[in-house]
Structure 1
Amino acid sequence: MGLTRWRDLAVVALIAAILAFGLLLWNYNRLPALPRLAGLPAALIGIGEAIFGWGLYRRIRANSGAAPGPGGSEQPRIGVAGQSGPDEVDPLTVARAVTIAKASALAAAAFGGLWIGTLCYVWPRAGDVAAAAGDRATALIGLLGAAVMLAGALWLERSCRTPPDQGQGPSRA
């Protein structure tokens, strides 16, 4: 399984943006005002994934035989080979984390596309329609929340990679 590709995320975001713009073009006057903090749950999910990713990253590095040294360089750990500690990472946990990260990245791309489509519709109308001015701020907050969610998901996915062995490139989870 490879890392999430940017072009896949871009395609999802583009499709979502086109659908959102079309829906708003057809039905904007019938929709209620968008909740101002609608993008906040996505941001909270992204922050949670980033925190979980950081913990998983540190546990994987600690169990790989190398620990981050001063300045972030990898240094060999001193210990008895084959001993498992309380920080041992279950491979199934890593597989689940990668699955969650990939799904969250696609969801964040879809949310981002929806907010981009909303922005494309309301931005030019913000001077003429009062609701569009409020929805513009909501869409900007939503887009920021989607970006935080995407960053958290991509960090979680990359945290699941094992460090490279001597002379090899990084392996993928």
Structure 2
Amino acid sequence: MHFTRPRELLIAAVIGFGLIFFVFQVAYGSLPRLPTFAGVTLAILAVVEGALAFVVRNMIRTGKVITGVWIARAVALAKASSLLGALMLGAWLAGVVYLAPRSNDITAAADDLPAAVVGAVCAGVLIGAALWLEHCCRAPDLRDRDRDRRTTG
């Protein structure tokens, strides 16, 4: 398994943007109102992954034993979350791009715009937390281990 590449995230974001922008163009009038805090679930996942990243980093730095399976699961979670975050970022940005120009003329668009902005921000936070978790799961270089020993010993 390789670490997440920026192009993978970009492709996921473009797919999310394209699909949702098409849905907005075709069916916005028949969609229910977007809940303002619908995207907050992504931020909650980001907080959990951020906390997990600090735990993993601390365990690796202190030399505690971590099984390879445990790290592999954390990396898989991070990869899946960063791709989900990119897909949702594209989807929420499609909402922003569709709703922002219409918010002055259509009351429903003005009401839905904050939800799209909150969702986009939360998706971005999830991407950042997932990439941080993935980074923390990397095996430290020998130079990093030597530097950590000098600062703690």
Provide TM-score, normalisation by structure 2. Answer: 0.91
Aligned to 1:101: 78
Q: CA deviation at 1:2?
A: 2.4
Q: Whose Rg is larger?
A: 1
Instruction: Give the distance between the partners of 2:142 and 2:112, measured in 1 at CA.
Output: 51
Provide TM-score, normalisation by structure 1. Answer: 0.81
Q: 1:79-94 counterparts in 2 under 5 A?
A: 87-94=64-71
Aligned to 1:121: 98
Q: CA deviation at 1:88?
A: 1.8
Equivalent of residue 132 in structure 1, options 109, 128, 132 = 109
Q: Quote the sequence identity (%).
A: 36
Instruction: Give the distance between the partners of 1:16 and 1:163, measured in 2 at CA.
Output: 34
Structure ranking higher in helix proportion? 2
Q: Is the 8 A contact 1:18 1:117 kept in 2?
A: yes
Aligned to 1:50: 50
What is the number of equivalent residue pairs in this alignment?
A: 144
Task: Determine if the alignment matches structure 1 residue 26 to structure 2 residue 26.
Answer: yes
Instruction: Give the distance between the partners of 2:109 and 2:2, measured in 1 at CA.
Output: 41
Q: Is the 8 A contact 1:59 1:88 kept in 2?
A: yes
Q: Is the 8 A contact 1:56 1:160 kept in 2?
A: yes
Q: Any stretches of 5+ residues in structure 2 without a counterpart? A: 145-153
Instruction: Give the distance between the partners of 2:68 and 2:129, measured in 1 at CA.
Output: 21
Q: Is the 8 A contact 1:61 1:162 kept in 2?
A: no
Q: Which runs of 4+ in 1 moved over 6 A?
A: none
Q: CA deviation at 1:25?
A: 0.4
Aligned to 2:147: none
Aligned to 2:59: 59
Q: CA deviation at 1:166?
A: 4.3
Task: Determine if the alignment matches structure 1 residue 148 to structure 2 residue 125.
Answer: yes
Task: Determine if the alignment matches structure 1 residue 157 to structure 2 residue 134.
Answer: yes
